[in-house]
Structure 1
Amino acid sequence: MSSESPLLVKPKKDTAIYHSITPETAQWNYLSFEARSMAKDDVWEHDTQDHELVIVLLSGNFRVSSPKGHWTTTNGRTNVFNGIAHTLYLPRNTEFTLTALSQTLDIAYGWCKADKDFKPKFVTPEETPVVIFGGDNATRQFNDLVPPGFGCQSIVVREVYTPSGNWSSFPAHKHDERILADDGTVLEPIQEETYFYKFQKPEAYAIQQVYTKDGSLDEIVRPRHNDVVMIPRGFHPVVAEHGFHCYYLNFLAGTDQCLANTTDPDHEWIYGSWSSKDNRLPLVTAKMNKH
C-alpha cells in the first residue's frame, strides 16, 4: 500500500484554500477542484469566465450575490454526516460574491470549461434526489447534487455515503474512453474525477484502488479525512474501514454530462448476486438539516 501515490492529495495546512487541483497540477484536461474554509463575514469574489462552476456546502451557511441571482442558505448542515448538501450551479461569465454567514464555513467547488450558456440553479437538501444503490455489503447512498440531465454542459456532482465495512464504487467501473452505441447513445464517456473524503473521526480511513486492465496503472491508497484521490483513468473501487462510515464527494467532468461507465468484466456478475439492502441506510436525510 502506498501513501506516496501521486493520486493521493493531502490537504494544505493553515490556508483558506486547503485543496486546489487544476488540469495543470493534475496533468489532465477538464476538471478543476478546490476546497475552502472561511470564517464568519469572510468574502470570496470570483468570476467564472469561460467555466461552469458548482459550489457544494459541506458545513455552515453562506450568501451568494451576483447579477444573475441571489441565494442564501439558512439550514446548512453542521457537518457532512448531519444532513444533505445545498448545491449552487453557476454558468460561465458569472461574477459573484460569496459571504460566510456562520462562524465557520466549509465549501467545495469544481469547474470545467463551457461553451454554452445555462441558467444558474440552487438545489436545497429537500430537492436533492437520494438513491440507495447496490446490495449486501456493497450498499451505499447517493445524493445526486448535479445528476445527468441537470441543465449544464459537462459537470456531474454526487456525494456518496458508504457504511462502515461496505464496498463502494463497486463493482469496479471506469470512464476513460468515449464509446457510442449505434444510435449515438454514450455508453462510456471520457471523464476525470475527484474523490474528496470526510470521516467522523481522525483515525478513520478508506482504501481505494485505481487500476487498468493492462496493469499500466495499479495504485492502492489510504485516504483519510479531507484527502482527495484523483482518478485520471481506470477502475476505482473503494472500501470503508470497519467501524467508521465514509463520505466522499465526486466531481466529474469530460466529454459528456452523464454517468455512463464500463464495469470491470471480472466483476459484472456481482450485480445479480445481491439479496438485500443494508438497513443502516440512509445515513443522512434532509430532515437532519433542520437543526
Structure 2
Amino acid sequence: MTYVPKGSAAHGPYTVDIDPKQAGWVYSALRVVEIEAGATHSFDTGESEWIVLPLTGGCTVHTEAGIIELLGRESVFSGVSDFAYVPRDARIQIASGAGGRFALAGAKCERRLPARYGSAPEVPVESRGSGTCAREVRNFASADAFDCDRLIAVEVITPGGNWSSYPPHKHDEHRSGVEAELEEIYYFEIEAPEGREGFGYQRVFPSREGGTDVLAEVRSGDAVLVPDGWHGPSVAQPGHAMYYLNVMAGPGEEREWRICFHPDHTEGYR
C-alpha cells in the first residue's frame, strides 16, 4: 500500500495509524490523534522514539521526566508549532484542555534519549526553490536541527499552484557521502479557504525495475508511503496551499538526510 486515503489507516483512537509492519518496512511510523476538549490520550512508545506535534490546538505531554507544555497553533497553515520528543520504552499521556489534533511522528530506534521540549522560535525555517517551485520548509526535527536516534521529520508548505519536492529525488540506497537510505511518509493537509476543499497530486516513480510507481490525488488526511523510488513533484491546486509532514528513518549508522536528484530534471528549482 503506497497511497493511503483518509480513513483507510484509521485504528482505534487514531485517524491515521501507519506502523512499520503495515507499511512493509522497518522504521518509520505516523499516527494522528484527535483529542476532545478536556480529554486525554495515553500510549506506550514501545521500541520507537516519537515526536508529539500539534496540528491544531495545544496540549500537555506527561512523561516520566515531567510535564511538557505545548502551546500548539491554530492550524498547520498559521505557523510553526512547538513540539515534544518522547523516548522509547515509556508511557505517555497527552491532555488537551481545549481539544486539538496531534501528529505522532515515530521511528524504531536503539538509543533511549531523554524527553525534551522543542521551541517554535528555534525551528529553522527555510525558503527553498524559486518561482513556481518556491515553498517553505520547517526543519523542526531535521538531522542537523534536533537530536533524535533515527527519526527525521520536517514540514513543508507549498503555495497554491506551486510544485515542491522538485526536482524529483530519491534516498533508497546507501552510498557513502552521496545518499542515505530512508523510508518516508508524506502526510497531507490542503488549505480550504472559505470552506472550499482542495486537492493536490503526489508522484513517486521507479528508480529500479519493479520499484514504486504511483500518481495520487491527495486531500486532507491522506498519506503516501515512499519505500523506494524517485519522489516529486508534490503539486498544490491553485488557490489552495498544500501542507505535508515528512517522517523519515533508515538503517544507516549516521542519522543523515542525503538525497540524489533525478539527472533529467532541472536542478535550479531545489
TM normalised by structure 2 equals 0.90
Given candidates 257, 261, 264, the residue that maps to 1:263 is 261
Q: Is the 8 A contact 2:81 2:120 kept in 1?
A: yes
CA offsets 1:261-282 (integer angstroms, 9 cap, x no match):
1111111xx23478xxxxxxxx
* Identical-residue share of aligned pairs (%): 28
SS at match of 1:73: strand
Q: Matched residues in 2 for 1:215 and 1:14: separation?
A: 33
SS at match of 1:116: coil
1:243 aligns with 2:239: yes
Q: How many residues align?
A: 260
| 2:124 counterpart residue number | 129
Say which one has the larger Rg.
1
Q: Matched residues in 2 for 1:199 and 1:272: separation?
A: 26
| 1:61 counterpart residue number | 58
| 2:39 counterpart residue number | 42
Q: Is the 8 A contact 1:145 1:158 kept in 2?
A: yes
SS at match of 2:73: coil
* Alpha-carbon distance, 1:14 to partner: 10
CA offsets 1:93-152 (integer angstroms, 9 cap, x no match):
2222111121x3100112222211323221122121100011111111000110113221
Q: Is the 8 A contact 2:137 2:154 kept in 1?
A: yes
Q: Is the 8 A contact 2:63 2:86 kept in 1?
A: no
Structure 2 unaligned residues grouped into runs of 5+? none
* Alpha-carbon distance, 1:70 to partner: 1.3
1:101 aligns with 2:66: no
* Alpha-carbon distance, 1:251 to partner: 0.6
Given candidates 4, 9, 12, the residue that maps to 1:9 is 4
CA offsets 1:207-231 (integer angstroms, 9 cap, x no match):
1111114453321101101111111
4+ aligned runs moved over 4 Å, structure 1: none
SS at match of 2:143: coil
Q: Matched residues in 1 for 2:80 and 2:267: separation?
A: 27
Q: Matched residues in 1 for 2:57 and 2:28: separation?
A: 25
Q: What is the one-letter code of the residue matched to 1:263? A: F
Given candidates 17, 21, 37, the residue that maps to 2:18 is 21
Given candidates 48, 51, 73, the residue that maps to 2:48 is 51
Q: Which structure 2 residues correspond to residues 1-291 of structure 1 after superposition, within 5 A? A: 6-12=1-7, 16-74=13-71, 76-102=72-98, 104-149=99-144, 150-180=146-176, 185=177, 187-201=178-192, 203-214=197-208, 216=210, 217-237=212-232, 238-256=234-252, 257-267=255-265, 270-272=266-268
* Alpha-carbon distance, 1:53 to partner: 0.9
CA offsets 1:35-80 (integer angstroms, 9 cap, x no match):
1111012212222232211111101111111222311123x21111
| 1:286 counterpart residue number | none
Cα RMSD after superposing both structures: 1.9
SS at match of 1:208: strand
SS at match of 2:175: strand
> 1:272/1:32 Cα in 2 relative to 1: closer, same or farther (>3 Å)?
closer
SS at match of 2:76: coil
Q: Is the 8 A contact 1:68 1:94 kept in 2?
A: no
Q: Matched residues in 2 for 1:46 and 1:55: separation?
A: 12
Q: Is the 8 A contact 1:60 1:101 kept in 2?
A: no
Q: Matched residues in 1 for 2:42 and 2:66: separation?
A: 15
